[in-house]
Amino acid sequence: MPSEPSEDLMKRVARAMDAVLSRDGSLSYPKLLVELGCLTSKDLDAWRRGRLPYLERAIHMNLTKLSRVQTAVRRIARERGLVRRLDAASPKHPYCKTRNPIVEAEYGMVYRLPPPGLIDRSTS
């Protein structure tokens, strides 16, 4: 199916997720996109400071591939039991041009490792 992330993309996203989680303790899409090389730290900072109208404008990846990255993140996070919570962007700093609430919510997801007592070892 063409809308599915390829095995290579899944591996690339998994490596980037590992790097961000080990460095920062949490994973957000902006941090992941910087790690993947499709968003510069400079552009991320410009968006955070309000110098870009929306984050997608600075991402060097088409929206189809970006959607596949998001699918890969959700699958990997579910497999690893990562805790997912919404950290919504400020209305002054939207993630996408359309400000679609579903898209904004996906970009706003932050993933963390579960607390040590909540890891299910029975499936390992």
When pLDDT is averaged across residues 24-41 and rounded to a whole number, the result is 96
- Segment 47-79, tens digit of pLDDT: 999 999 999 999 999 999 999 999 999 999 999
For 4, the 3-state DSSP assignment is coil
Query: Does position 2 have pLDDT exceeding 60, yes or no?
Result: no
In the structure, what pLDDT confidence band is assigned to residue 4 with cuts at 50, 70 and 90? confident
- Segment 88-108, tens digit of pLDDT: 767 788 999 999 999 999 999
Q: What is the pLDDT of residue 117?
A: 67
Q: Give the residue among 57, 21, 23, 19 at the shortest CA–CA distance from 40.
A: 57
pTM over 0.75: yes
Q: Would you give the distance in Å from CA 9 to the centre of its chain?
A: 14
